[in-house]
Structure 1
């Protein structure tokens, strides 16, 4: 026999065989635990392994309502204790029983396994080692199950938001009226999947055109839902032929009567009625940003607010302003997402917006909108969009040019 080679004796051979058996048992237990991606199934699988394979009297995950076998109370938060996995009810407090924590990768405890040995005896070294290994594998499986559930929930929410975004985009004007001698267009970009900006253009029976730009307080899904409600009420009033001042008054009352949440989600709005044959516009501003008009001689005017935002104070009344809109004039309505675009701590601001609008060489709505968006994007230098951005541009073409209609969301 070669020198230096040690052959195991009978007892050592038995120990090695037992270690191999333990590893095989733990491997099989690990396979069972990782065979599911549901959190409750993972925990139930662990309890069955502890009782059936390791032959413990019982096991539980306290405060989850899950227990298997006897001798362990699942939770002290209920009066009688919930039913366990195999239909029995625990009867002993887990305070003095062996506990094996299940921790995530950051070391934070997710839950803990409590085990009751048969006849209240202490666990053997083998049993403790097995349970520690099982707890480690169960922790990995449990964290994977929770991550999977989060991913599934996120995918479901994202799917719903994508559907909501498509619906909201479909509620923007899809077919704008062709107005002889005018160019009208809009552009809208939400900060998130959906937003609280609202824009509408409606052709009335008398040949006038009613336009609205509104901004619901806040951003995201709640504001988007409110803007949809606002649209329904606005369209109903327009169809009934209400005057512009009356529309603002009744929209304010409608928003107020919708309840406390609607009042918190008040709406700033600016309404415009265009009389194309007369070359005149009528405007009501309800707590919104000023509307800009530039005349062909370079003179400018602004339509300031004549009252509070809609839904803020009940019984509010509003006044309209009329203004000539001769050939060569152009108008801009916008939401504050344009002026509140930031570069660091500096905002784009209404002055810079007005400057770019007044100096734009384009004479149609499409070109002006492109120029404004380009100026804002250049200013923020690739920074994230912080708010919904919506703008409406109306131009009266000089020299009898045909109508030009633009719409881009």
Structure 2
């Protein structure tokens, strides 16, 4: 039967446990939670050293996250233990506590850490950290000390530390969930910034050009990309058009796109030859290629008197030419490498004349690489089959294409941006 002093000690430790459980549950910062857990464990268990090791998801190894005691900092710098090795590894693998009076008497104990740190481990109590039936890691206390003497941990210590570990695991799991939610919020904020950057460099509306209809559609993906398009006058008789796609996703792609569009407009006003302009832009991008990004694009100049389009393609999907009552065909033309890959990439001039009631469809790969829920690619052959023979205005044509991409994908958002421009020459009898 326990003595009165032992009963008082038990009550005091249980009161500490209740108080500490409240304390470690009061914070959602994972680092703060871990420190509080270890400080509390050392206090409740009279331990000379405490440590928490959490499972690394990719490898299954145990990594020391926090440790206290004389060599605690050094332990966390060098401690990595495969699951199943050592006392902690065995506890993690079997999800059972281990209590040892002298660790050197147990063949599972690895003395390597003692040799590296100069610490001498004697008694040990190691328990699993489990939350929602998931193993998070292990908690460990060593060298229980009474009156400057190392003594064994008792079965009562094991029971108390197991209760403590249950509360600690819940606190760790909650803190991790909180960190995950904060990360998601930051990512969402990052995507919002990227979308605003991207959209600020896109035209608010197509220009009014006599004899032409222009329509554009841009839909950002759930992972923002680097799509862009633009049309701007070089002179009263010349309209520049461009559509392109920066490799990569996120804010970096949006910022890269913004910088490129600025370069494009500056140099387009100085260099009227499409081939030389694209070569200049390629040189600029190659200088920045250390970032590992490249750009595909089609850049062209439309003569508003003759409706002749001179354009250059740099690794971008080809134009479609739509003739009501006839067909919707891929425009066969020369294409060079995407910008930024090779220093002296060669580019060729393509030329066509837009006839009355004909449309040119400019698009990025999100239009032809949309996937169904089953993983099938939409491709490009469907355009010639899908578009009706009757004449369509540029806005109608753009909307029909977008609607079909959405119907095929069967989802509200896509992995890649959907960007589309339609350029249609009006008939002579149209206002």
TM range (shorter): 0.7 to 0.9
Q: 1:94 to 1:383 in 2, by over 3 A?
A: farther
The 5-angstrom pairing of residues 168-317 of structure 1 reads 168-262=198-292, 265-294=293-322, 298=326, 302-317=331-346
Whole-angstrom distance in 2 between the partners of 1:166 and 1:11: 70
How far off its partner does 1:176 sit?
A: 2.9
Q: 1:100 to 1:11 in 2, by over 3 A?
A: closer
Whether the 8 Å contact between 1:64 and 1:75 is mirrored in structure 2 is no
Aligned to 1:372: 401
How far off its partner does 1:51 sit?
A: 3.9
Whole-angstrom distance in 2 between the partners of 1:125 and 1:366: 78
Q: 1:397 to 1:35 in 2, by over 3 A?
A: same
Aligned to 2:84: none
Whole-angstrom distance in 2 between the partners of 1:164 and 1:301: 32
Whole-angstrom distance in 2 between the partners of 1:116 and 1:14: 23
Aligned to 1:151: 181
Q: 1:103 to 1:74 in 2, by over 3 A?
A: farther
Q: 1:242 to 1:111 in 2, by over 3 A?
A: farther
Q: 1:73 to 1:285 in 2, by over 3 A?
A: closer
Aligned counterpart for 1:28 among listed residues 19, 32, 36: 19
Q: Which aligned segments of 4 or more residues in structure 1 are displaced greater than 6 angstroms?
A: 10-20
Aligned counterpart for 2:29 among listed residues 34, 38, 48: 38
Whether the 8 Å contact between 1:113 and 1:135 is mirrored in structure 2 is no
Whether the 8 Å contact between 2:21 and 2:164 is mirrored in structure 1 is yes
Whether the 8 Å contact between 1:269 and 1:286 is mirrored in structure 2 is yes
TM-score (norm 1): 0.80
Aligned CA RMSD, in angstroms, stands at: 3.2
- Work out which structure has the larger RCO, using CA pairs closer than 8 Å and 6 or more positions apart in sequence: 1
**Structure 1 unmatched ranges of 5 or more:** 1-9, 80-89, 403-409
TM-score (norm 2): 0.76
Q: How many residue pairs get matched?
A: 378
Q: Deviations over 1:94-150 (max 9, x none)?
A: 475323343443443434232331110112333332222112111111121122112
Q: 1:115 to 1:372 in 2, by over 3 A?
A: same
Aligned to 1:114: 141
How far off its partner does 1:67 sit?
A: 1.1
How far off its partner does 1:296 sit?
A: 6.8
Q: 1:182 to 1:292 in 2, by over 3 A?
A: same
Q: 1:150 to 1:360 in 2, by over 3 A?
A: farther
Aligned counterpart for 1:352 among listed residues 376, 382, 403: 382
SS, match of residue 68 in structure 2: strand
How far off its partner does 1:345 sit?
A: 5.5
Aligned to 1:390: 419
How far off its partner does 1:340 sit?
A: 2.0
SS, match of residue 32 in structure 1: helix
Aligned to 2:106: none
Query: Is the counterpart of residue 135 in structure 1 residue 165 in structure 2?
Result: yes
Whether the 8 Å contact between 1:296 and 1:327 is mirrored in structure 2 is no
Whole-angstrom distance in 2 between the partners of 1:349 and 1:48: 60
Whether the 8 Å contact between 1:360 and 1:371 is mirrored in structure 2 is no
Query: Is the counterpart of residue 342 in structure 1 residue 343 in structure 2?
Result: no
Q: 1:270 to 1:156 in 2, by over 3 A?
A: same
SS, match of residue 202 in structure 1: strand
